[in-house]
Amino acid sequence: MAVIEIKNVAKRFGEYQALQDINLTIEDQEFMVLLGASGCGKSTLLRIICGLETATEGEVWIGGKRVDHLPPKDRGISMVFQNYAVFPHLTVFENIAFGLRMKKLPDDEVTRRVERTAGLMHIDQLLQRYSGELSGGQRQRVAVARALAMEPDVILMDEPLSNLDALLRMEMRAELKGVLAESNTTAIYVTHDQVEAMSMADRISVMHKGEIVQAASPIEVYRNPAAEFVAGFIGNPPMNFLPAAPAGSGQWHVAGQVIEGPQVDRALRFAVRPEDVRPAETGLTAVARIVEPLGAHLLVTCDIEGEMFRAVLDSDLAIRSGDKLILAPQPDRVRWFDPETTKAVA
């Protein structure tokens, strides 16, 4: 049982506030993905959980035990480092065996585990090499194998697949997920690849400037972003925003149209995903500017009253740059945000 609880954690580096007021519970055996732009504090949070960095404020609990003051080795955690940290003076075999030897496991058990994890990571041909003789992607896989071989309660991974080519990445993604599910490990996985996040996560925590903006299932994060940042960060292309002015009793003026919305009496922002609009008789009036055929779809970047608006449309439509379009948003997919707080409004 390894539930991870992070309570009111904050971290300052001198004047710089790297993390503020992080509250997060990761359930036993959950696969949690931390997603966020570069520099938002993902690695810092992992390092605090792992014990390589001490939080300025707050508490970290693992498996019902407060661990703030324990050294990394006593936390039952394995970590895959962003820049691999493969020991250069040891072979791949000895690298993977390192932690097992520290635990004083018998030799045959060590060999068994090393060979198993090396097989999973497709590096069983490289066991006698030194890290200087490996490519970046191979080193990265050694680092993952070394962490997996420990069979820990909790595994923390900092962009473990970032250096692999697209094909291998897709393959390893599925395998890693399978291995972790099978081994009953609680995992925290850092990435800034949203496809990776979507496809692997039980839950995604979206981080922005040292805060967790939303922690929810991938589909929830996608469909119901809690803040404009999430809406703009997740999805490719991201969500569209348009200004909306109140027209009384839950009606809103959006680009000359009246649309049903929440009952509040201040200006809001209307938002809809590019794939949730359809050409229709009535709707938002748009002028197509750039038309990009993507095979399955047509990505049309348009102009609605001076605002940029992207639509993903059927590729059979014959649309050319300069054409006038009427786009109808799918009513149940429309979202509203408060421009003051940037938070979602129900």
Ligand X SMILES: Nc1ncnc2c1ncn2[C@@H]1O[C@H](COP(=O)(O)OP(=O)(O)OP(=O)(O)O)[C@@H](O)[C@H]1O
Distances (CA, A) of 91 to 139, 162, 241, 340: 11, 23, 53, 56
- Token reading at 3: 């539930």
Give me the phi and psi of 290, to 5 degrees please: -125, 135
Task: Calculate the alpha carbon distances from 241 to 92, 261, 307, 309 in Å.
Answer: 50, 14, 8, 7
DSSP, res 210: T
Amino acid (1-letter code) at residue 327: L
Binder of residue 38, out of ligand X, Mg ion, another protein, none (CB less than 5 to 8 A by kind): ligand X
In terms of CB distance, is 37 or 245 closer to Mg ion?
37
Residues that bind ligand X (CB under 6 A): 13, 16, 18, 36, 38-44, 82, 192
Q: Tell me how far apart the terminal alpha carbons of the chain are, to the nearest angstrom.
A: 36
Q: Listing from the earlier edge strand, what are the strands of the sheet with 344-345?
A: 257-260, 251-254, 240-246, 268-272, 335-337, 344-345
Contact footprint for Mg ion (CB under 5 A): 43, 82
The distance of closest approach from Cβ of residue 174 to ligand X in the complex, given in angstroms and rounded to an integer, is 23
CB of residue 50 vs another protein: minimum separation in angstroms? 6
Q: Which amino acid is at 48?
A: I
Choose among another protein, Mg ion, ligand X, none what residue 18 binds, the Cβ cut-off being 5 to 8 Å by kind: ligand X
Cβ proximity to Mg ion: between 20 and 257 the closer is 20
Partner in contact with 81, chosen from another protein, ligand X, Mg ion, none, beta carbon below 5 to 8 Å by kind? another protein
Residue 72 CB, shortest distance to ligand X, in Å, is: 16
- Shorter beta-carbon distance to ligand X: residue 201 or 311: 201
CB closer to another protein out of 156 and 213: 156
Closest separation in Å from C-beta 151 to another protein? 12
CA dihedral (46, 50, 51, 56) positive or negative:
positive
For residue 98, the minimal CB distance to ligand X (Å) is: 24
CB of 274 to another protein, least distance (A): 40
Nearer to ligand X, 189 or 270 (CB): 189
When the beta carbons of 40 and 212 are compared against ligand X, the nearer one is 40
Element (H, E) at 298: strand 297-304
